[in-house]
Amino acid sequence: MAGDTGMAGKVALLLWAQTLSLAGAQTTQLLVQPPWTPAVLWDRVTLTCQGSGTAGATTWYKDRQRWGQNRGDHVTVTESGTYSCDRPGSGLSPPVTVLQDRLVLQVPARPLLEGDTVTLRCRGWWNLSVSTVKFYQDEKDPGGSLRGTELFLPPLQLHHSGRYHCRGWLSLRQSQSAPVTVTVQGVPPSGVSLSAQPPGGQVALGDRLVLSCAVAAGTGPLSFTWHRGGSGAPLGTGPHLEPWDIGDNDSGHYHCRVSDGDSVAEIVPLNVTVLVERDARAGVPVANATITPGPLSHQVHTGDPVTLRCSVQVGSAPVTFTWLHNGQEVAQGPVLELGDIDVTHSGTYQCVATNQLGQDGHRVFRALSPELALEVTPRGHWNTAVAAGVGGSLLFLVLLVGGVVGWHRWNHMAARKQQER
């Protein structure tokens, strides 16, 4: 267990040193091992002074008084008190307190960043057993998970900053630790990426362009500024650069800067190229895709051959044609041969014509034709209808002839009866 604690301390110490290095800090830093603050005398605390200059130039202070001579940059503490060190060129370090109190609340001795998982521990004098431990943040329950004398906080947020202390029973007497200030820092912005819509940064004259800036890591509030070229007045603020109608003079390098107030992250600029007709790379977008033959509604019978053709009025080659049947891609090319069709070919047909401007393939134009409705009727339905029509006509003629004959017979019989009278 002691070996694990030592290894964890070295890792934490290394992370702290790396954080300071990445931040470009030029101030003197006083590192503590084991990496807990406040430190306690019974842990055999070692202090290390880091800063510019040689180790032999380190000056140590205890309780604001010069402390000893020629101690180098490492010291082992044997008395409680407040320690600091001074290095030429980087100045005086922040203080480190070493306690010998009856009850001590300890926090990891490293910068606490938003999203970190942190353990607080309540310790008795010279590791005496402590029972019924409770933790407080500004006299309130801080939440988290309590396990014996340790409090496991959830991933830190800015509201976890505050003054903490603990209470517990030690040798049949309740004690309270001195308060410890916990400061949760926001994560500096990093992983900044820039994107454009339309993608690729190639746009045609008169198009509308939107630039967006995204941050992979970082906590708010973050501010965004947009620039063109080296510097100059910002073009805008916010994660998106508002769309505008592209003109001849809008080509150039655009980039965004993200700041959390303390640090600034910047992305590699995006090159925006405005394509105009005199540019050899520029083409003409496709437009007005149409399907022939018209009109846009057809009724055919099963087995009939059907051929659809797609064309555009304008567009620089190469133009690609894609056919859609009920919204699903079924074929490519300017001509769609359906051959002997059946009822499954019924539905709506469209063609999509596309081409691209520029050699990088990022700027793509697209034209969609109006829908053509195709209705396929089985031939058997047509023959039955014809037969039904002919049969109905014959029946009508038979009834008509029968009526005429009956009428003549009735008139003839009536005339005979009249004569007999």
Whether residues 222 and 307 share a domain: the answer is no
Would the pLDDT of 146 be above 50? Answer: yes
Within this chain, do residues 253 and 299 fall inside the same structural domain, yes or no? no
pLDDT of 40 higher than 90: yes
User: In this model, does residue 21 exceed pLDDT 60?
Assistant: no
CA distance 133 to 168: 4
Write out the two tokens for 114. Answer: 């938003």
Q: What is the mean predicted confidence (pLDDT) over 176-203? A: 84
Q: Provide the percentage of residues in the chain whose pLDDT is more than 70.
A: 78
Give the domain CATH number at 65. Answer: 2.60.40.10
Q: Quick check: helix, strand or coil at residue 317?
A: coil
Given the DSSP bridges, would you call strands 39-40 and 96-99 parallel, antiparallel or unpaired?
parallel
12 pLDDT more than 80? no
- State whether 219 and 296 are in the same domain: no
Domain shared by 269 and 316, yes or no:
no
pLDDT of residue 115: 86
Nearest to 132 by CA among 81, 79, 169, 78: 169
222 and 197, same structural domain?
yes
Asked if 341 contacts 300 with a C-beta cutoff of 8 angstroms, the reply is: yes
Token pair recorded at residue 368: 């969609």
pLDDT tens-place string over residues 148-162: 999 999 999 889 999
238 vs 406: which has the higher pLDDT: 238
Torsion angle of C-alpha atoms 169, 172, 173, 179, degrees rounded to 10? -20
pLDDT at 291 over 50: yes
Instruction: Give the pair of three-digit tokens for residue 197.
Output: 């819509």
DSSP 165-223: EEEEEETTEEEEPPPEEE-EEPPPPEEEEEEEESGGGEEETT-EEEEEEEEEE--SSPE
Among 84, 100, 116, give the residue marking a domain's end: 100
At residue 150, the pLDDT reads 97
- Residue 280 reports pLDDT greater than 50: no
φ/ψ of 199, rounded to 5, equals -70, 160
268, 307: one domain: no
Both tokens of 271, joined, read 């090159």
* Residue range of the domain that includes 8: 2-100
> Are residues 211 and 194 in contact, defined by beta-carbon separation less than 8 angstroms?
yes
